[in-house]
Structure 1
Amino acid sequence: MAMFFKPAELQPREVKPLDAFPVALPAGSVSGIVFADQLAEEVFVHHLIASALKDGPVYHIGPGALSVRVLEELSESVSNLYAGNAYTVEELMEALRLVEDASLVIVRRFPLLLNVSAENVVELKRTADEKGLFLVLCHPSLELNELDLPGEFGKLFLLPELFDLLAVLRTSSYRGHHRMNITVLRAPAEYVASVGDHSVPIDSLARPFLHRG
């Protein structure tokens, strides 16, 4: 079947990684997130998982490390958390067929998966839509060209126009205080006003990663 219709939801479920994050992720969405440093990646991923765990299952697909110890500090329970690794886009597509509908799925280092093509990106978008997923494709970039972010997203995600959210996250610190600096290039319709640059304090959010015993 080439196309399908379904009733439009007036109040679709949303997930926010941080209270001060300028955009919420709607159900059925695909997000492309690029991290310019590791602290930005860990804060975003772990707090997004903690935020979503209370509402249902969360799937973390590596390769990429995840600290269950930190998540136990951030969440009442991690019993809804499932983790696994995918190294090819075929393995990722198979995993997405197994996840529960309306769940959060975080895929780390997506551009490094073998055999990724534009056709795969279309299928990922279709799967997220049909299953009502919160699908977040992430990648840490140590050589990000800040002067051509649209070009960077094109290289990393192939069809960035299909994504509901495109954002770059970086952290900065000054005299012991940390901030997350966010550039939103594309946002869901209700959050178009959030396209642009934002900076939010993350001292308490970063603490579990900076003060380990």
Structure 2
Amino acid sequence: MFFQPAEVQLREIKPFEEFPLGFGEGSLAGVISTDELASTVFLYHLVANALSEGPVYHVGPGSSFSVKLLKRLTEDVSNLYLGNVYSMDELLQALNLVEDNSLVVVSLFPTLLNRTAENIVELRKVVDRKGLMLVLTHTTIELNELDLPGEFRELYTLPELFESLLVLRTNSYRGHYRLNMTVLKAPAEFVSSIGDHSIPIDSLVKPLL
């Protein structure tokens, strides 16, 4: 199917201003965190920043999201919706229920059952049809840093269908924190962000500890 692109300004979300790329409407991102602090900083600041602009959905297996922690960043959580999904079929059903052009974050995505190439393609179709900002995340300490493309293929099956692929890590020294990230793939407008970044995040970490 062909269409003539409309010249409209699409919404774009970042977890914080210094983050090297944004997640736009109709985009699919895969994020791997190598520690819980990196995962927490990314997830909660991303959700907090998006809440003022419309509905935000967080889904995953089990109760993995803390509203109490989110309220340290923003008082108004009326646009937040949480859900549990345990398989790709359940995730696809959930995505068909969310509001168009909204942010959806999926935690522990690689643990979902029936994660096949066919289901990833269906996921891509839903993102395109509904204009979603879909961010699939996973946290693992067993990451082969020498073969990051292979790790994304193992965890996300068809990384070619993603606009953004990121690896997040944190380190600390004498009470100061940095987010060290590798951008393997980025949308065309953020192609200059591909590579390694090290960002001071003391102000982002403080309210979460």
**TM surpasses 0.5:** yes
Match runs of 1:157-176 below 5 Å: 157-176=156-175
What amino acid sits opposite 2:92 in the alignment?
Answer: M
Question: Which residue in the other structure is 1:141 paired with?
Answer: 140
Kindly state the Cα deviation for residue 70 of structure 1 after the two structures are TM-superposed.
Answer: 2.1
1:120-159 CA deviation, whole Å, 9 max, x = no partner?
1111111111101000000111100000000000100011
Question: Which residue in the other structure is 1:98 paired with?
Answer: 97
Aligned length in residues: 208
Q: How many angstroms apart in 1 are the aligned matches of 2:46 and 2:148?
A: 23
Q: Secondary structure at the match of 2:72?
A: helix
Q: Secondary structure at the match of 1:115?
A: coil
Kindly state the Cα deviation for residue 7 of structure 1 after the two structures are TM-superposed.
Answer: 3.0
What amino acid sits opposite 1:92 in the alignment?
Answer: L
Q: Secondary structure at the match of 1:44?
A: helix
Q: Which moved more, 1:4-13 or 1:71-80?
A: 4-13
What amino acid sits opposite 1:21 in the alignment?
Answer: F
> What is the Cα-based RMSD across aligned positions, in Å?
1.1
What amino acid sits opposite 1:145 in the alignment?
Answer: N
> Moved runs in structure 1, 4+ residues, more than 2 A?
3-11
Q: Which moved more, 1:131-140 or 1:200-209?
A: 200-209
TM value normalised by structure 1:
0.94
Q: How many angstroms apart in 1 are the aligned matches of 2:114 and 2:138?
A: 16
2:55 to 57, 75, 90: 57
TM value normalised by structure 2:
0.96
Q: Secondary structure at the match of 1:98?
A: coil
Structure 1: gaps of 5 or more residues: none
Match runs of 1:77-88 below 5 Å: 77-88=76-87
Q: How many angstroms apart in 2 are the aligned matches of 1:207 and 1:52?
A: 20
2:6 to 5, 8, 33: 8
Question: Which residue in the other structure is 2:110 paired with?
Answer: 111
Q: Which moved more, 1:34-43 or 1:60-69?
A: 60-69
Question: Which residue in the other structure is 1:48 paired with?
Answer: 46
Structure 2: gaps of 5 or more residues: none
What amino acid sits opposite 1:34 in the alignment?
Answer: I
Q: Which moved more, 1:175-184 or 1:5-14?
A: 5-14
Q: Identity across aligned pairs (percent)?
A: 61
Q: Secondary structure at the match of 2:128?
A: helix
Q: Secondary structure at the match of 2:166?
A: strand
Question: Which residue in the other structure is 1:33 paired with?
Answer: 31
1:63-115 CA deviation, whole Å, 9 max, x = no partner?
25212112112124100000011001000000000000011000011111000
